[in-house]
Amino acid sequence: MDAMGKFVARSPPAVQSPLSLPRPPFAALYESGHNKPWQAKRHADLAPAIKLEPNEEGTLGKAIRSGRVQYISADLRDKAQVLQAFQGAEVVFHMAAPDSSINNFQLHWSVNVQGTKNVIEACVEQQVKRLIYTSSASVVFDGVHGIFNGDEYLPYPSKHNDFYSTTKAEGEGLVIKANGVNGLLTCSIRPSSIFGPGDKLLVPSLVSSARAGKSKFIIGDGNNMYDFTYVENVAHAHICAERALASKGTVAEKASGQAYFVTNMEPIKFWEFVSLILEGLGYDRPRIKIPALLIMPFAHLVEWTYKLLAPYGMKVPQLTPSRIRLLSRSRTFNCSKAKDRLGYTPNISLQEGLERTIESYLHLRAEPKYKRDGQSKAYLFLGSGRVADTLLWKNKKQTMATALVLATFFYSFVASGYTIITEISKLFIALAIFLYVHANLPKNILGYTIEKFPLSAFHCSEEMSRRGVILVVSSWNSAVSVLKSICRGDDLILFLKVVVILLITSLLGAISLKNLFLAGLLIMFVTFYIYEKEEEAIDCIVSRATAFGYKLKYDVEKIFCSSS
């Protein structure tokens, strides 16, 4: 009885292939019209029962239900289980891999090295004829130097980017070395950046970042080139490898004992690829570039924090040094060797692969963007007039003119370093000169009408005077009322509010007029603009903060009431 086994280790929880090639070699094998009359096929996995993804319910689902494929629960780290699973097998596709984002040496070594040793020894003892190993293009990546059109002559680096790559390279070396032992023919497939339906790392992490507002950033200059590989092309490469090894004569001899880079053969800028996926799911493409060197210290801090808190349930962070290096370096590979010796060429183009991938993740697409009904709160708060148009950049010429006037004022009066009396005097001198010149200008200059200031503009009416006095008296009475309450000692919350306000005032008083002026300009021309653009998100944050503040206030009052 002929049989084929494939391994994707899934447990313990960390041992799960994130970029899964979930089970496509089987489906692709049935659909490709393979020329060998396979009688039975086996799928070995660690889970007690197989759970198919929606995209696997077709050919593979029917094959399992009809009995053409037998599912076996086995742990490749247990040699006895591997031996039992390989009984009668002719071909083994070894695809086990832990989650590459977890930089844990023991985890990766147990699967990629010790598990691979078990697979090789089981193949030899059970007289398996062919072993195809799923490696990674990262086995030649050191995380420092970019790779441009790299081929199989590239050596393993002295130090890899992470433990996943280190152990993958060691496992690959074991597979290549085992070629010819007891008639076993082996080869290694090195796919680069697998993507497609069933991916549990790339697309979900991109969507998670987008929903958290972190997908706006580009790590590096954004020009690093990448080779991606659609998941069905990876499956096709495995089939090509198996066919080449099964051939007689020089074809099998040239194909065996070798490693092969496998890509879509369509290099693309990494961040353009990411943008296409995000835009396809309704999210904004990244635009803000951050130098990798600038963010690397934070990545080291995050990784260090994860090492401390991982035992307590902290999730694997996305911002790690190895991830930063992956996102900011070029990685393109030459597939000529796979084409010549295995007959591999991609079946699915990059564009079609992207379309299929996006289609399979429509459940992760962005919610329809919030559409504001009428004017924004910021526009209404600023009076819906010229001030609002200026500070919200709706009239850019007017905004730039105002900013220029304020900058001139700043350098002429604020930044000069004179005393307040001198500054006020200079300001009134400038105002007097302006008013006098303006009054003597003709009513029309080159077709432009010069509007004169009406004398009433500087007149303070009786009503305005009365309102001013009432405001001053009312403010004084309010302050006196607060002081009386503090003297009685019957309102702790009011006392805390007064202390906080005075502390903030004292801090502001320590700030120089120059810095205060600059901060004011920033607030005026940036804060309102940002609020108008992100009104819904900011309102949500403020609402949560307010709710937290009320809860904190309630808890404090409860504590003091219980103590009294």
Active site residues: 168
Tokens of 334: 């030459």
Pairing of strands 268-269, 225-226: antiparallel
CA–CA distances in Å: residue 293 to residues 170, 299, 323: 30, 10, 13
Three-state SS sequence of 492-544? HHHHHHHHHHHHHHHHHHCCCHHHHHHHHHHHHHHHHHHHHHCHHHHHHHHHH
Q: How far apart are CA 251 and CA 378, in angstroms?
A: 72
CA dihedral defined by 203, 206, 208, 209, rounded to 10 degrees?
Answer: 180
Q: How many beta carbons lie within 10 A of that of residue 5, not counting itself?
A: 28
Pairing of strands 91-94, 194-195: unpaired
Q: What are phi and psi of 148, to 5 degrees?
A: -120, 115
Q: How far apart are CA 564 and CA 559, in angstroms?
A: 9
User: Residue written as tokens 């030649």?
Assistant: 140
Letter string b/e over residues 473-498, b meaning 16 or more CB atoms within 10 A of that residue's CB: eeeeeeeeeeeeeeeeeeeeeeeeeb
Beta-bridge mates of residue 218: 289
Say if residue 445 is exposed, middle or buried (CB neighbours under 10 Å; 0-12, 13-18, 19+): exposed
Q: Are 271 and 222 in contact (CB under 8 A)?
A: yes
Range 399-407, long-range pairs (CB < 8 A, 24+ positions): 399/525, 403/521, 403/525, 406/521
Tokens of 307: 């090492």
Q: Which of 155, 337, 204 is nearest to 263 (CA)?
A: 337
Residue spans of beta strands (DSSP E) within 387-473:
444-445, 448-449
Q: How far apart are CA 150 and CA 141, in angstroms?
A: 10
